[in-house]
């Protein structure tokens, strides 16, 4: 027993080091956000909350936060819903389930840079796949700008995100559905419930933990989304697809205002924590109960 | 006892991990910081640049070859970081500079962005190189102004890119019997004529997926509205943006051009926007002379498929790429040799012929260039008669911080055309970024 406990500590050591480093960096970031550090000059002039005041009076920050919230709603709900429907569908399959699962999981294996490049090519208003197909049906595509249209650019980008992450929701839900007792389904069928009724009245309420995991993980993704924006639009048209992580990168590295850049990173951290903490509390309480 | 044993094991693992980290760290620093130590590191020349695209990559490779011919035992370790006009490279380089572990050389520009490095204490002056080669007397005074701060020269420029070029699709112009513009009004008239005659052709190409190119149009309308001095004042925050009538007029002119830009500019990079001239989807393009290399690489023929006109013709606007001397460079003699090589006619000819730019040195005849555009650029720059100015963002006439804000405001302006809002936002950004004070060095000289 003693042998096992000792080795338990040893196995935990690398992770403990990582966690300590992580918290040191967060603290370092917090301190930097209170300075007028421009990234190049080694001197840090303490500025109190100036960066935060500048940030909260900066229209671009609020625009970008709004775009993050659009991602949160428009990305998570369809991804989760679609993931659940597909998982339910696949769970009733036999051998072909493996094939379909791989197909839907494949986009997850792609780097977001690849996804972004691929979808930018699909959406290109001039020579993109989408407009070429529409043109083939004789429709005038002159007004179909997709990611170049300020009104719909962010939604077009979110579709690319859904395409990439729906496989994740499928896998989470498949695991959750597999764990459900079959007796419930037999009883429901005996009572005459149809497939759709069973899906929404029996399966969905019983895979709440899957929904929680899926939505939490996807929410964290929306707070960190950067690659798709950087590759597909560079934040444009104007700043219509710009999100907070992109703003952070721009301010810190392109504009060399690391003080404000770190302030944005702290805001992102707080927002992400607000999403993760409820999930963590739930997961820990469930673990303790077990 | 159990606890003690666990604690002991934990400490042991920590000690081993820290030891390994220390060992690897000291090996790395030993490899890069000992200039006169072991033979192997002394033969390595570590350089950072962001020339990764076709043409520019071959250009720097040609310089490496030249350097290696003179230093056969030296191994050049090149770190290329593409994109962002150097900001991506900065993201990588900054850690090395701050930890006093600089490379032997790194690509830089001029003006305010160079001054940032100098002010931070990351550079050693290169006065001796400028003096021994009499560099200041062989180049246009504008370069000196943008590279000499606090009485010292801080970098060695090697090429000159002209940015006030309007490239145009010659076939479209011939077909519509249009004359290349000579001022803003003729530019607008040409754009209107193209739109009227060829509704499916964008009169002016633009790609602002990298937002910086919106500032090039900004410089253009400022130049064509108020001239060189005015453009410099706008970029460096000297005017009162909210009340200056010339600035308002320039922004109104920018707004007048909006219906004539390629409508999906936000999806195009600068080279993709250039390609629209080849496909005939666009007729004109305001871009620096690096686009010439791109046109040639996609099979366009000068004076057949495309041509160019400098606007205004008596102004040479542009910027240089340069290499400073990093303070504490691990191999200072090699770094000095590299910089000295860059000042030579031979190196500048070799590099610029491939890169698509012209030499900084005035004493290189313009007939070395195979195309009429660079010949004209070199003649104008080296004549001593033209008004020579650096451009706003890449030329360091504005701070990086303001430049970033300006790009964002202007790309927004491209989609809404709201002049009042743009002027207010530019004024606010200049104030927030303390532009006037941070650029005061420019006017103090």
ipTM: 0.77
SS3 content of chain A, % helix, strand, coil (to 5): 75, 0, 25
Q: Do the Cβ atoms of A10 and B97 come within 8 Å?
A: no
The owner of tokens 């719909």 is A152
- Position B228 scores a pLDDT of 97
In this structure, are residues A218 and A168 in contact, taking their beta carbons and an 8 Å threshold? yes
Task: Give me the CATH code for the A55-289 domain, please.
Answer: 1.10.3720.10
Nearest to B411 among A6, A40, A238 (CB): A238
Mean per-residue pLDDT for B30-55? 63
Low-confidence winner among A157-171, B89-103, B419-433 (lowest mean pLDDT) = B89-103
Q: Do the Cβ atoms of B401 and A150 come within 8 Å?
A: no
In chain B, the residue whose alpha carbon lies closest to the alpha carbon of A234 is B209
Alpha helices, H only, B365-434: 372-383, 400-416, 419-432
In whole angstroms, give the CA distance from residue A151 to residue B183.
35
Tokens of A263: 């302030």
Mean per-residue pLDDT for B235-250? 98
What integer best gives the mean pLDDT of chain A?
Answer: 90
Which of B408, B413, B425, B433 to substitute to test the interface with A, most A CBs within 10 Å? B408
Model confidence at B27, pLDDT cuts 50, 70, 90, reads very low
pLDDT of B87 > 80? The answer is: no
In whole angstroms, give the CA distance from residue B235 to residue B398.
5
Tokens of A38: 């421009």
Low-confidence winner among A134-143, B153-162, B200-209 (lowest mean pLDDT) = A134-143
Model confidence at B25, pLDDT cuts 50, 70, 90, reads very low
Q: Which residues contact B336 (CB under 8 A, 6 or more apart)?
A: B129, B325
- How many helices (H) and strands (E) in chain B? 21, 13
Please, which residues 192-211 of chain B have a Cβ atom closer than 8 Å to chain A? 200, 208-211
Q: Which residues contact A97 (CB under 8 A, 6 or more apart)?
A: A90, A91
Q: Which residues contact B424 (CB under 8 A, 6 or more apart)?
A: B242
In whole angstroms, give the CA distance from residue B347 to residue B67.
9
In chain B, the residue whose alpha carbon lies closest to the alpha carbon of A53 is B432
In chain B, the residue whose alpha carbon lies closest to the alpha carbon of A117 is B267
The angle formed by the CA atoms of residues B205, B211 and B213, to the nearest 5 degrees, is 45
Beta bridge partners of residue B169, listed in sequence order: B306
In this structure, are residues B12 and A9 in contact, taking their beta carbons and an 8 Å threshold? no
In whole angstroms, give the CA distance from residue B429 to residue B413.
14
Asked if the C-beta of A5 comes within 8 angstroms of chain B's C-beta atoms, the answer is yes
The DSSP bridge pattern shows strands B105-106 and B165-169 to be unpaired
Asked if the C-beta of A251 comes within 8 angstroms of chain B's C-beta atoms, the answer is yes
From residue B247, give the alpha-carbon distance in Å to each of B230, B425, B428. 9, 13, 15
**Residue of B322, B315, B308 lying closest to B395 (CA atoms):** B322
Query: What is the distance, to the nearest Å, from the Cα of residue A4 to the centroid of all Cα atoms in its chain?
Result: 38
**Residue of B391, B390, B373 lying closest to B217 (CA atoms):** B391
pLDDT of B7 > 80? The answer is: no
- Of all residues in chain B, what percent carry a pLDDT higher than 70? 89
Mean per-residue pLDDT for A223-234? 92
Nearest to A5 among B2, B84, B211 (CB): B2
In this structure, are residues A147 and A181 in contact, taking their beta carbons and an 8 Å threshold? no
- Domain residue limits, chain A: 55-289
In whole angstroms, give the CA distance from residue B70 to residue B83.
31
Asked if the C-beta of B15 comes within 8 angstroms of chain A's C-beta atoms, the answer is no
Buried b / exposed e over B162-185, threshold 16 CB at 10 Å, is bbbbbbbbbebbeeeebebbeebe
Low-confidence winner among A40-44, A90-94, B31-35, B60-64 (lowest mean pLDDT) = B31-35
Q: Which residues contact B141 (CB under 8 A, 6 or more apart)?
A: B388
Model confidence at B83, pLDDT cuts 50, 70, 90, reads low
Mean per-residue pLDDT for A1-10? 72
In this structure, are residues B178 and B190 in contact, taking their beta carbons and an 8 Å threshold? yes
Its pTM stands at: 0.83
Whether the bond into B312 is cis, omega within 30 of 0? yes
In whole angstroms, give the CA distance from residue B53 to residue B270.
12
Query: What is the distance, to the nearest Å, from the Cα of residue B344 to the centroid of all Cα atoms in its chain?
Result: 21
For A166-184, how does the pLDDT look when each residue is reduced to its tens digit (9 = 90+)? 999 999 999 999 889 888 8
In whole angstroms, give the CA distance from residue B210 to residue B213.
7
For B295-317, how does the pLDDT look when each residue is reduced to its tens digit (9 = 90+)? 988 999 999 999 999 999 999 99
Distance, first Cα to last Cα, chain A: 21
Chain A CB contacts of B14 below 8 Å? 13, 17
For residue B396, the number of C-alpha atoms closer than 13 Å in the C-beta half-sphere is 24
For A209-219, how does the pLDDT look when each residue is reduced to its tens digit (9 = 90+)? 899 999 999 99
Tokens of A81: 């819903």
- Let me know how long chain A is: 290
For B327-383, how does the pLDDT look when each residue is reduced to its tens digit (9 = 90+)? 999 999 999 999 999 999 999 999 999 988 999 999 999 999 999 999 999 999 999
Chain A CB contacts of B87 below 8 Å? 253-254
Tokens of B231: 């453009």
Tokens of B297: 């690489």
- A/B interface, count of CB pairs below 8 Å: 120
- Position B38 scores a pLDDT of 40
């Amino acid at each position: 027993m003693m042998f096992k406990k000792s080795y338990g500590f040893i196995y935990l050591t690398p992770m403990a080091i990582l966690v300590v480093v992580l918290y040191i960096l967060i603290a370092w970031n917090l301190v930097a956000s209170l300075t007028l550090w421009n990234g190049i000059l080694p001197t840090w002039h303490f500025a109190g909350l100036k960066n935060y005041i500048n940030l909260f009076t900066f229209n671009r920050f609020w625009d970008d936060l709004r775009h993050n919230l659009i991602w949160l709603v428009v990305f998570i709900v369809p991804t989760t819903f679609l993931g659940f429907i597909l998982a339910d569908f696949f769970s009733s399959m036999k051998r072909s389930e493996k094939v379909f699962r791989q197909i839907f999981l494949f986009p997850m294996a792609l780097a977001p840079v690849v996804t972004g490049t691929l979808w930018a090519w699909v959406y290109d208003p001039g020579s993109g796949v989408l407009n070429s197909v529409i043109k083939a049906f004789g429709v005038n595509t002159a007004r179909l700008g997709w990611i170049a249209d300020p009104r719909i650019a962010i939604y077009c980008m979110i579709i690319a995100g859904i395409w990439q992450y729906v496989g994740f929701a499928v896998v989470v839900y498949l695991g959750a559905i597999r764990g459900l007792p079959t007796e419930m389904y037999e009883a429901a069928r005996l009572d005459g419930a149809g497939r759709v009724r069973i899906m929404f009245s029996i399966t969905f309420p019983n895979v709440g933990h899957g929904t929680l995991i899926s939505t939490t993980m996807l929410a964290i993704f929306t707070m960190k989304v950067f690659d798709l924006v950087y590759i597909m639009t560079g934040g444009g048209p104007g700043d219509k697809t710009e999100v907070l992580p992109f703003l952070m990168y721009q301010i810190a590295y392109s504009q060399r205002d690391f003080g404000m850049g770190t302030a944005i990173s702290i805001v992102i951290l707080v927002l992400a924590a607000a999403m993760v903490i409820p999930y963590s509390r739930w997961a820990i309480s469930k673990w303790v109960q077990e | 006892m159990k606890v003690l044993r666990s604690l002991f094991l934990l400490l042991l693992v920590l000690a081993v991990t820290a030891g390994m980290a220390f060992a690897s760290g000291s090996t790395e620093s030993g490899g890069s910081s000992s200039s006169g130590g072991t033979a192997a590191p002394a033969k390595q020349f570590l350089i950072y640049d962001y020339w990764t695209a076709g043409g520019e990559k071959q250009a720097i490779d040609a310089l490496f070859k030249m350097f290696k011919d003179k230093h056969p035992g030296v191994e050049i370790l090149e770190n290329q970081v593409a994109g962002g006009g150097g900001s991506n490279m900065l993201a990588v380089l900054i850690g090395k500079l701050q930890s006093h572990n600089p490379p032997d050389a790194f690509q830089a520009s001029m003006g305010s962005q160079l001054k940032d490095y100098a002010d931070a204490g990351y550079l050693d002056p290169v006065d001796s190189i400028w003096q021994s080669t009499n560099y200041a007397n062989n180049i246009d005074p504008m370069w000196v102004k943008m590279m000499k701060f606090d009485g010292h020269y801080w970098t060695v420029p090697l090429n000159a890119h002209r940015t006030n070029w309007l490239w145009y699709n010659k076939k479209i112009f011939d077909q519509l019997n249009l004359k290349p513009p000579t001022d803003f009004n003729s530019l607008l008239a040409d754009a209107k004529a193209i739109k009227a005659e060829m509704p499916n052709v964008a009169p002016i190409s633009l790609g602002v997926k990298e937002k910086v190119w919106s500032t090039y149009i900004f410089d253009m309308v400022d130049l064509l509205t108020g001239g060189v001095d005015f453009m410099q004042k706008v970029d460096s925050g000297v005017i009162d943006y909210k009340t200056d009538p010339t600035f308002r007029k320039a922004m109104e002119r920018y707004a007048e051009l909006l219906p004539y830009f390629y409508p999906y500019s936000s999806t195009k990079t600068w080279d993709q926007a250039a390609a629209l001239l080849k496909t005939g989807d666009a007729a004109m393009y305001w871009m620096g002379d690096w686009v010439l290399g791109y046109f040639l690489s996609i099979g366009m023929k000068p004076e057949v498929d495309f041509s160019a006109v400098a606007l205004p013709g008596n102004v040479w606007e542009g910027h240089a790429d340069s290499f400073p001397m990093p303070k504490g460079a691990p191999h200072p003699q090699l770094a000095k040799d590299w910089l000295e090589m860059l000042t030579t006619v031979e190196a500048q000819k070799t590099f610029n012929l491939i890169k698509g730019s012209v030499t900084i040195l005035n004493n290189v005849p313009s007939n070395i260039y195979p195309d009429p555009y660079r010949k004209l650029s070199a003649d104008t720059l080296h004549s001593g008669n033209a008004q020579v100015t650096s451009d706003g963002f890449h030329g360091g006439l504005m701070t990086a911080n303001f430049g970033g804000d300006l790009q964002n405001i202007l790309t927004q302006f491209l989609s809404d055309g709201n002049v009042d809002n743009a002027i207010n936002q530019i004024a606010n950004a200049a104030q927030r970024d303390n532009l006037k004070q941070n650029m005061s060095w420019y006017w103090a000289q």
